[in-house]
Amino acid sequence: ILNVEQSPQSLHVQEGDSTNFTCSFPSSNFYALHWYRWETAKSPEALFVMTLNGDEKKKGRISATLNTKEGYSYLYIKGSQPEDSATYLCASMDSNYQLIWGAGTKLIIKP
Amino acid sequence: NAGVTQTPKFQVLKTGQSMTLQCAQDMNHNSMYWYRQDPGMGLRLIYYSASEGTTDKGEVPNGYNVSRLNKREFSLRLESAAPSQTSVYFCASTQRVNTEAFFGQGTRLTVV
């Protein structure tokens, strides 16, 4: 079983500020790294799926990078807005094609 | 677009009762999953089905059974519910192994 860790566990950010958080995963047998956004009382929704070392993906004000050699991914949010408040989950997929999930980073945007 | 439909949304069971959580997807996805989510922990895989007719145990399968009835439907059964099974359960599906997962709305189960 892989061990996927996310930090910080929670984060308070002032509206308008930019922020980032980390997902760490074992680099051996790596296949893919997923990021999801999970709003309270809703289902997780996919943001990015990345597979190659050095991958960078962007969706609006949110972007992510991937380093498979050292086993980490960063999620960046530029100019945080109240609607960005959510829990951000990452999951690593190994060569057995099973997703192992981190516990999430809970982001709270203060107006 | 229905996506992944999961029922029921809420359920309260007494210890020892049985129930089945239903999940159906209309995206023609091959793989389907059942997860449980507990406070402070990541989603933990209970069972998954890589394709119609196959099922495999995940990280926490004890106390659960599953059925992949057809390509659309994947059900999770608790034969004799225990308080330790109080959790939020999510069904998910993926088209291929390296593509995004789509989730149902979740079932909040309380076992008293």
Pairing verdict, β B19-25 and A62-67? unpaired
Reported as a single tens digit per residue, the pLDDT across B76-89 is: 999 999 999 999 99
Question: pLDDT-based confidence at B39, cuts 50/70/90?
Answer: confident
| A-B contacts (CB, under 8 Å) | 53
Average pLDDT, chain A: 93
C-alpha distances in angstroms, A29 versus A68, A94, B9, B82?
10, 5, 36, 36
Question: pLDDT-based confidence at A1, cuts 50/70/90?
Answer: very low
- Mean pLDDT along residues A103-110: 95
| Minimal Cβ distance to B97: which of A4, A42, A97 | A97
Is the pLDDT assigned to residue A83 strictly greater than 90?
A: yes
Kindly report the nearest CA distance between residue B99 and chain A, in angstroms.
7
From chain B residues 79-108, the ones with a CB under 8 A of any chain A CB are: 90, 97-106
Average pLDDT, chain B: 93
Question: pLDDT-based confidence at B35, cuts 50/70/90?
Answer: very high
Contact predicate B76/B83, CB 8 Å: no
CA atoms within 13 A on the CB side of B80: 2
